[in-house]
Structure 1
Amino acid sequence: MSFTVEERGNPNSLSYRLFFKNAEGKYISPFHDIPIYADESQNIFHMVVEVPRWTNAKMEIATKDFLNPIKQDVKKGKLRYVANVFPHKGYIWNYGAIPQTWEDPAHKDGDTSCCGDNDPIDVCEIGSKVCSRGEVIKVKVLGILAMIDEGETDWKVIAINVEDPEAKDLNNIGDVQRLKPGFLEATVDWFKRYKVPDGKPENRFAFNEEFKDKDFAIEVIKSTHNFWKALICQQTNSGELHCKNTCVSAGDSPYHCSADEAKAAVGEVRFPTLHFATRQDISTQIDKWFYYEKK
């Protein structure tokens, strides 16, 4: 199963989008149409890479847009770039999401006592390769971190590309601790402090900042897949989410649309033209360190 992306608009602008196509050239939604499993029998999942490692642009699946292309997050009318909180540079893993999952904002998690963040479940891929934006890879789950982001449950799955040379040696979260000493601590540190330069408080975590193991992580992923099933079948309120899809059968999803309808709709998309980030704009945000004392 292969996927390609179609780039539209200009990078570092409000117009930039990455639309997805399957092997047949049909427009698809990376949120709804890419299967959750690459190999269900082995618990191998698909991951959509939103942000390549070492980069700063906060790219994400646009859950409220038609066919959910990847685009850059915007705050107060400006494109969003994460700050480099010393000693980190940009994102320290390939960052993305598992398709066909959804953290339901109406569901209070029994472990975190907080509701979901209304997004697909996040993944930190820790392999040696720097992936490409929009790449769809197959990952082996190793563990999970329960972050509480502004009062919402925001799970962070730790995984590795099955094609990575290190994948054979990494099978659970304890292997990461043993073979990559300091990496899990750095991950907690990154998520705890990355919003502080924007004037926000440090994020909190359930389980005293401890990572849960592979089995726990897989159960969390499966539960978010069930929430997605209810969403795509219109058994739960979608709110502002855009659930149009081309690959989930019409019998299973009232949001199904034909390939021709999708192609016509993508062709009619009009992108905003306001704001184009210059190199100077970008460099002021991604080329400097942010220092502050840990609490």
Structure 2
Amino acid sequence: MSYSTEARGSQNSLERRIFFKNGKGLYISPFHDIPLYADEAKNVLYMVVEVPRWTNAKMEIATKDSLNPIKQDVKKGKLRYVANVFPHKGYIWNYGALPQTWENPKHIDENTGFGGDNDPIDVCDIGSKVCEQGEVIKVKVLGTLALIDEGETDWKIIAINVEDPEADHYNDIEDVRRLKPHFLESTVDWFQKYKVPDGKPENKFAFNGEFKAKDFAIEVIKSTHQQWKDLVNKKTDGGEINCTNTTLKDSEFLCTQEAAKAFVEKVPTCGQVNEIPSEVDKWYYYQKN
């Protein structure tokens, strides 16, 4: 199954949107129309890459917009970039989301004691390839970390691109610990500190920041997949979440290609590329007092 993207709006602007198409060139929602499983029997999943490794722009699936394009997060009217907290540079993995998953804010997770963060579940691809924004890749699950972000459960799935040359060597979280020494510790460090330059406290974790293994992670994913099913089937109230889709035939949110095209064409075409602010390259040195 292949996918492509259509960029609208000038790069590095508030208008920038990345829309998705399937192999037939038809518009789809990356949130609702791309399946979760590429091979359910082998626990191989599709991942939508929102942020390529080493970049800083906080790009995400726009859950409240029609067709859920990728757009850059905005804070106080300005585009949001994550800080470089020494020794890290931007995101240290290809970062993205699992389609057809949703962390329901009203669902109190039995493991963490907190509701979900109202987004698709997040994925960190540890493979060697730097992916492209909007790329859809197949990954296998290795484990998970439970971030508690401002009182919300925010699971981080650790996975590897199945096409990575070393993918066969990685089958569980302990393989990451063995083959990539200090990588898991660096991942905890990144999530713990990345908001500190914005004046926020360090993030906290469930399980004292310990990673849970593959089987645990798979159960978390299954739970968020069911929460997504309840969302699109109107068994739960998603609030402002936009469930417009073009392939879910029994969905009340199904729209035509004509309507989908109209959503896309509301966004201006690509124009001149805007420069990224110079302060994005600043390095922050942080030590807890």
Name the TM-score, length of structure 2 as normaliser.
0.97
* In 2, Cα distance between equivalents of 1:125 and 1:265: 31
CA distance in 1, matches of 2:266, 2:192: 40
Q: Aligned ranges for residues 54-203 of structure 1 at < 5 Å?
A: 54-203=54-203
CA contact (8 A) 1:59 1:72 kept: yes
Structure 2 CA distance for aligned equivalents of residues 264 and 155 of structure 1? 34
Contact 2:196 2:202 in 1 (8 A): yes
Over the matched positions of the two proteins, sequence identity in percent amounts to 70
The answer to whether the 8 A contact 2:15-2:267 is kept is no
CA distance in 1, matches of 2:214, 2:79: 35
Residue 91 of structure 1: how far off its partner (Å)? 0.1
Give the 3 Å change call, closer, same or farther, for CA 248–190 of structure 1 in structure 2.
same
Q: Give me the whole-angstrom Cα distance separating, in 2, the residues matched to 1:118 and 1:71.
A: 16
CA distance in 2, matches of 1:283, 1:36: 38
What runs of 5+ residues in structure 2 fail to find an aligned partner?
none
Deviation, 1:139, is 0.2
Q: 1:288 aligned to 2:286?
A: no
- Secondary structure of the structure 1 residue equivalent to 2:277: helix
Question: Quick one: structure 1 residues 241 and 184, their matched pair in 2 at CA, closer, same or farther if it must change by over 3 Å?
Answer: same
Deviates more, 1:32-41 or 1:255-264: 255-264
Rounded Cα–Cα distance in structure 1 between residues aligned with 2:273 and 2:114: 36
2:231 aligned with 1:237: no
Taking the aligned partners of 1:265 and 1:163, their CA distance within structure 2 comes to: 34
* Distance in 1 of aligned mates of 2:260 and 2:282: 42
- What amino acid is aligned across from residue 2 of structure 1 in structure 2? S
Confirm or deny: 8 A CA contact 2:11 2:274 kept in the other structure: no
Query: Residues of 1 paired with 2:264 and 2:57: CA distance?
Result: 24
How far apart, in 2, do the equivalents of 1:179 and 1:105 lie? 36
Q: Which runs of 5+ in 1 are unaligned?
A: none
- In structure 2, what is the equivalent of residue 256 of structure 1? 254
How many angstroms apart in 2 are the aligned matches of 1:291 and 1:101?
35
CA contact (8 A) 2:114 2:151 kept: yes
**Quick check: 258-267 or 154-163, which moved more?**
258-267
The 8 Å contact of residues 79 and 277 in structure 1, kept in 2 or not, is answered as no
Aligned residues: 288
CA contact (8 A) 1:6 1:19 kept: yes
Offset of residue 160 of structure 1? 0.1
Contact 1:48 1:98 in 2 (8 A): yes
Displacement of 1:145 in angstroms is 0.1
Deviations 1:123-147 (A, max 9, x none): 0000000000000000000000000
Q: Relative to structure 1, is the Cα distance of residues 248 and 108 closer, same or farther in structure 2, using a 3 angstrom cutoff?
A: same
Task: Tell me the TM-score normalised to structure 1 length.
Answer: 0.95
CA–CA separation in structure 2 for the residues paired with 1:291 and 1:172:
33
Distance 1:118 1:169 in 2: 33
RMSD: 1.5
Specify the code of the residue in structure 1 equivalent to 2:288.
Answer: K
Q: Structure 2 CA distance, aligned partners of 1:65 and 1:265?
A: 9
Distance (Å, rounded) in 1 between the aligned partners of 2:141 and 2:112: 21
2: CA distance between counterparts of 1:175 and 1:45? Answer: 19
Cα distance in 2, alignment partners of residues 17 and 169 from structure 1: 36
- Secondary structure, counterpart of 1:7 in structure 2: strand
- 2:52 alignment counterpart: 52
Task: Quote how far apart the aligned CAs of 1:259 are.
Answer: 1.7
Distance 1:175 1:88 in 2: 22
